[in-house]
Structure 1
């Protein structure tokens, strides 16, 4: 008989949390009892799971000793405040905020073997969606390419900021289409029909904290000594789905046929044939796969590889990767 586990999802009413619950059901994760947790404003709501409507309970009073595995999908402040309680109760924890000290970022396609070096209870991190997509695409190429620098321009969906981001884009779009004056609320300026040159809080260096997180996590995930990473994030007027323009600088001439052959064989990747390209709308949104296209060499540098990635940030970038980490744990280590 397959062993089952008591599982908690923190942030179950949020964009990623709800998707995470859906993925747990779709992939038949061996859940014995599922505990859905959120703040006081959301407690009492219900979320569908396996034909039932499960009531969302308040996080503050929850006894984590009831569960073996916890997914934290409620943002930085919630993880900082409540993750230590889960750890103290002996839970293995998969955090999606990236703020917990000692939480190791994992993307199964890139560094699943690192779990063998750890012991229970596990403290793991599902990386930022951009880092997840980059690692899943680039990790299979580590043998074919001697990478020394990765440069990415990431056009992020407003769902990066949860339901509030989606609601703000919808509100602004409605205001403009109805010829009403627009007053930005969540963002510092108009996002509808516009592109914003930064996403989130910017640090003293001028780089956004999210950009720094992506660079830091990608280096860990790929495990390439001396790898340099440059990240620029902009915010696009798109509800869901991240679009990444990626340049990889290598130590040798890039063999495009070899690269295409490697990517074409990878489960979870959809390589779009030359002459076409993927987009988030119509391709990636709602899908488990990462879509890769516009595979080409450099204009002036034969040791340069350029490509395009379209990914559902809430699904593959966040919820699915977290569940896949959980699947590795329950299969081999818990």
Structure 2
């Protein structure tokens, strides 16, 4: 197998996390390039295996020279993804921008890898939004083995879920308010406040994996810098066994079962010096004809970077 040429189209912070996991991968990677769909600052540069990574603009990209594109853009950047796919580059759409398109499989690594056979229709595979992938990983086997009526999810979104600029805005607002400096009248307040966000097409993405199950997503923006938390309730017509779900968690290499209450901040402190990341699950309990639990992950490092590289490894093994 020839060494792979990989393009990354993402903001700077996520590019750094992706190259971190690519460096740990079993893949033979010859070259990594960054396509700046979000322009970097002058001092921002990405390194892979201790070498500077080439940074090019989307208009300069010759997609035919790349084997894979790891794409983390928004709908406005979608033409670049389409151009890459048409040039023969296999695209991993990391945020589910293309998930609603017919012929594009939506895959969460280790859950529905068999759907990758549909990849070749468009040369694009979508990972779902981190809110969806976090839920799917926590419940996939349980959903398959139990007849559920409805799943309700409340996602507490950090600033990093939106982008690095929002992290900077949260930091700036926090500093200003602590120093008694009021915010501009029309400025969206992030610091010390919460507000609802649209769930978008999350249900569509989820039902591409589990089409028969009703799910409701509630998304809340919180004044947290990094790390997404979810409160999940699953309901049925009959009593559900918490021991069954706990056993499934304990045998999943992507999951860490927590005895204490894990939070995004505690998770960030715990994983800051570690090479591996996990989906942290706990507070599992029974409710009337159902179960509920608490879920925390670094949505940048785990749900996006780590899972993307795992999906890349699975596709590469099939192709080469």
Using structure 1 for the length normalisation, give the TM-score: 0.87
Offset from partner CA, 1:75-98 (integer Å, 9 cap, x none)? 2211x2211211121111111242
What do residues 154-173 of structure 1 show as CA deviations (whole Å, max 9, x unaligned)? 10001122111101100000
Deviations 1:82-123 (A, max 9, x none): 112111211111112423234322101221111135437631
Q: Which residue of 1 aligns with 2:255?
A: 269
The answer to whether the Cα contact below 8 Å between 1:156 and 1:242 also exists between their aligned partners in 2 is yes
Structure-2 residue corresponding to 1:220: 208
CA distance in 2, matches of 1:6, 1:55: 12
Please name the residue that 2:281 is paired with: 292
Shift in CA distance, 114/40, structure 1 to aligned 2, threshold 3 Å: closer
User: Structure 1 residues 243, 57: CA separation in 2 closer, same or farther (over 3 Å shift)?
Assistant: same
Aligned to 2:18: 20
In the alignment, the residues of structure 2 paired with residue 134 and residue 39 of structure 1 have an alpha-carbon distance, to the nearest angstrom, of 29
| Structure 2 residues without counterparts, runs of 5 or longer | none
Q: Secondary structure at the match of 1:308?
A: strand
Matched residue, 1:115:
116
Number of residue-to-residue matches in the alignment? 311
The 1:41–1:9 alpha-carbon spacing in structure 2 relative to 1, beyond 3 Å, is: closer
TM-superposition CA deviations, 1:206-263 (whole Å, max 9, x none):
xx2xx13222112222x252x1111110001011101100000123311122221121
Q: Deviations over 1:29-63 (max 9, x none)?
A: 32111121104843875211101112311121110
Give the aligned CA root-mean-square deviation in angstroms.
2.1
Q: Do residues 309 (structure 1) and 308 (structure 2) align? A: no
In the alignment, does 2:267 pair up with 1:283?
yes
Q: Give the corresponding residue for 1:205.
A: none
With the length of structure 2 as denominator, give the TM-score of the two structures: 0.90
Q: Which residue of 2 aligns with 1:229?
A: 215
Alignment of 1:57-68 (within 5 A): 57-68=56-67
Structure 1's unaligned 5+ residue stretches are 200-207
Q: Would you identify which runs of 4 or more consecutive aligned residues in structure 1 move more than 4 Å? A: 284-287
